[in-house]
Amino acid sequence: MLYDVLIAPFADFEFMRRALVGTFALALGAAPIGVFLMLRRMSLIGDAMAHAILPGAAIGFLVAGLSLSAMAGGGLIAGFVIALGAGLIARATPLKEDASLAAFFLISLALGVALVSVKGSNIDLMNFLFGSVLAVDNPTLILIAGIASVSLVVLALIWRPLVLECVDPGFLRSVSRAGGLAHIGFLALVVMNLVGGFQALGTLLAVGIMMVPAATARFWARDITGMIAVAVGCAVVSGYAGLLVSFHANLPSGPAIVLVAGVFYALSVAAGPVGGLLWLAVPRRHLEA
Amino acid sequence: MPELRLHNLTLGYDRHPAVHHLDGTVEPGALLAVVGPNGAGKSTLFKGIVGALRPLAGSIERNGRDARAIAYLRQVAEIDRSFPINVYDMVAMGLWRRKGAFGGIGRHDDAAIDAGIAAVGLTGFEQRPIGTLSGGQMQRMLFARLLVEDARVIVLDEPFTAIDAKTAADLLALVRRWHSERRTVLVALHDIELVKRNFPQTLLLAREAVAWGDTSDVLTAENLLAARRMCEAFDDDAAACAVAAE
């Protein structure tokens, strides 16, 4: 009985197995990035960049149809352009990064939807917005897995300057030139993972598997390694459970995955060991020292 | 060979000079206090010395040393206290110049980090997240990082502001230890009595050098009065400076 609920959908159907591998790879690559985005107070910037990818992917779609390389390539280019453009505008004009990115993302979302509607059907639009994790083919799977592998390697390489750039950027500037490179490398990782997430979860939810587990992790760990471990675990379990929920309850899979992650988040806000609301309500005696 | 040589140095923001035509040298092993009213240009001078600010005119010679090799404690630390990092890792960052982004940290380095933490009296705080430290503890941790940096030239911008007398005395002892190790130390300070008791040389700065030399010659009543008369505000109607650039 338990087997039927938990294992059978994946044992019986290849598309479910593919979707599971895809979401696991996504979880491994995106969750650590999400933790850094959250710690750098760039959570909404991640969201904005996910939407910014849409017009790039839409142009790829217009040019070459549902070709993975065209859409992924277009998405990557658009993502980098927006990331660098917003950064430049923040440095050169009085408008801060959050406002310039807000402007970019609204324009990108509208532009992307308009472009897709020119040639695509409603189903195409739905896939762009909400993803099609149940329809990942081998090339897409290889792309997602490749992105996750590259992400983990690059993150390990830029770890030290990235952490220092988050906590004490002035000190990093005074001892090294690595800060700028680490920042750009990090943005590149964000864009890559969003492009990967876009294939599986669509533009509106790609950032969901990046940010919701990261927000959850805040309530379980006090050090960054612990946070990343919790975020990855949460993302992986959300992918698995979300696919099961979508299979048994006949719901779209992208939203189901993000909803399961959301349930974990809500539980953590309520009862997580680090700052959960429950512990504020329960009176506990203070310690001796 | 002087450790630092300032040639007709002008530093400032938006073409307004905050340090104006400063000339002088700092010998190796000097313990120099930089004193002056608020807005006198002390922080600006230090930013120029460590290479964070490019001169508007003139130059700084650093005895062939890379500006990045100068250890610098800024006046206001832009540290994100909510970041989940502990005291040990923050102090370990002082090894950056020797280890870079990938160098491993061995037992020898662990010993240096432990020694630095012990020297500032923060033993037992190694695993504490930095967000739980008080102001004085944070300042002591930054001093520990400076110790680990092991630099020959050290620049401190108002290191004792807003910390208690005991901590200030402990940190001052560290400064004196650096001096006895023949490191060159520059410290910006407001406390004239502290300077008179501890610093053999002083630069009295009020945008331009009012006096520079032995502390007893520099910190006279008339010099201090002259410095106080300096105008803090930038003059929006000022003409281009007539003194010829060299």
- Closest residue, chain B, to A40 (C-alpha): B83
Longest Cα separation, chain A? 70
Q: Specify the DSSP element, H or E, that contains B131.
A: none
Question: Which residue's structure tokens are 């406002």?
Answer: A99
Q: Does B77 touch chain A (CB under 8 A)?
A: yes
Cα separation of A96 and A77, whole Å?
Answer: 23
In this structure, how many other beta carbons lie within 10 angstroms of the beta carbon of residue A37?
23
State the Cα–Cα distance between residues A68 and A70, nearest whole angstrom: 6
Q: Is B162 on the interface with A (CB under 8 A)?
A: no
Q: Which of B72, B78, B101 sits opposite A160 (nearest CB)?
A: B101
Pairwise CB contact (< 8 Å): A224 & B86: no
Specify whether the CB–CB gap between A197 and A203 falls below 8 A: no
- Measure the CA–CA gap between B188 and B202, rounded to whole angstroms: 10
Q: Which residues does chain B have within 8 Å of residue A227's beta carbon, measured at their own beta carbons?
A: 84
Inter-chain contact A224–B96, Cβ cutoff 8 Å?
no
DSSP string, B183-204: -EEEEEES-HHHHHHH-SEEEE
> Residue A24: which of A258, A238, A247, A255 has the closest Cα?
A238
| Pairing, β B184-189 against β B31-35 | parallel
Q: Which residue of B has its CA nearest to A179?
A: B101
Integer angstrom CA distances of residue B231 from A11, A162, B38, B221, B225? 80, 42, 10, 18, 12
A274 touches chain B (CB under 8 A): no
ipTM here? 0.85
Q: Is A180 near chain B, with CB under 8 Å?
A: no
- C-alpha A190/C-alpha A48 separation (Å) is 11
Spell out which residues of chain A touch residue B52, defining contact as CB-CB under 8 Å.
173-174
Stretches where chain A sits below pLDDT 70 are 87, 90-98
Beta strands in B44-106 (DSSP E): 57-61, 71-73
CB B158 within 8 A of CB B166: no
State the smallest CA–CA distance between residue A274 and chain B in angstroms.
Answer: 12
What local confidence, expressed as pLDDT, does residue A47 receive?
82
The DSSP-derived string for chain A is -HHHHHTHHHHH-HHHHHHHHHHHHHHHHHHHHHHHHHHTT-HHHHHHHHHHHHHHHHHHHHHHSS-HHHHHHHHHHHHHHHHHHHHHHHHHSSS-HHHHHHHHHHHHHHHHHHHHHHH--HHHHHHHHH--GGG--HHHHHHHHHHHHHHHHHHHHHHHHHHHHHH-HHHHHHH-SHHHHHHHHHHHHHHHHHHHHHHHHHHHHTTHHHHHHHHHHTTT-SSHHHHHHHHHHHHHHHHHHHHHHHHHHT--HHHHHHHHHHHHHHHHHHH-TTT-HHHHHS--PPP--
Residue B242, CA atoms < 13 Å, CB-side half-sphere: 2
Interchain CB distance below 8 Å, A173 and B52 = yes
Chain A, nearest residue to B145 by Cα: A171
Nearest-by-CA chain B residue for A225:
B84
Q: Which among A153, A168, A223 is the top mutation candidate for probing chain B, defined by the most B β-carbons within 10 Å of its own β-carbon? A: A168
C-alpha distance across the termini of chain A, in Å: 52
- Domains parsed from chain A with CATH numbers: 2-281 (1.10.3470.10)
CB-CB: which of A167, A170, A176 is closest to B85?
A167
Nearest CA in chain A to B142: A171
Can you give the pLDDT at residue B69? 92
Q: Which domains, from first to last, does chain B contain?
A: 1-70+151-246 (3.40.50.300), 74-150 (no CATH)
CB A51 within 8 A of CB A111: no
Contact A164 B96 (CB under 8 A): yes
The tens-digit pLDDT sequence of chain B (246 residues) is 899 999 999 999 888 888 999 999 999 999 999 999 888 899 999 999 999 899 999 999 999 999 999 999 998 888 999 899 999 999 999 999 988 888 888 889 999 999 999 999 999 999 999 999 998 899 999 999 999 999 999 999 999 987 888 889 999 999 999 999 999 999 999 889 999 999 999 999 998 999 999 999 999 999 988 888 876 666 777 777 777 554
CB proximity B74 to A under 8 Å = yes
pLDDT digits 0-9 by tens, A9-48: 888 898 899 999 999 999 999 999 999 999 988 887 788 8
Query: How much is the pLDDT for A87?
Result: 67
Question: Are B93 and A224 a contacting pair at CB < 8 A?
Answer: no
Select from A149, A141, A280 the least CA-distant residue to A199: A141
Token pair, residue A268, equals 């953590």
Give yes or no for a contact between A203 and A129, defined as CB atoms under 8 angstroms apart: yes
* Cβ-based contacts of A223 with chain B (< 8 Å): 84-86, 129
User: Strand, coil or helix: what is B55?
Assistant: coil
Indicate yes or no: CB of A174 within 8 angstroms of CB of B86. no
Sheet holding B16-26, edge to edge: B16-26, B4-13, B57-61
Distance CA(B74)–CA(A89), nearest Å, equals 28
Residue that the structure tokens 């300042």 belong to: B139
Q: Which two tokens stand for residue A80?
A: 């980098």
What is the value of pTM for the model shown? Answer: 0.85
Which two structure tokens, joined as six digits, stand for B185? Answer: 């130390």
Q: How far is B224 from chain A (nearest CA, A)?
A: 33
Residues of B in contact with A160 (CB under 8 A): 101-102
Nearest CA in chain A to B76: A170
A167, A223, A230: best to mutate for the B interface, most B CBs within 10 A: A167
Phi, psi of A81 (to 5 degrees): -60, -45
Instruction: Say if CB B85 and CB A224 are below 8 A apart.
Output: yes
Looking at the complex, does the CB of residue B62 fall below 8 Å from at least one CB of chain A?
A: no
Query: Which one of A164, A169, A222 has the shortest CB-CB distance to B84?
Result: A222
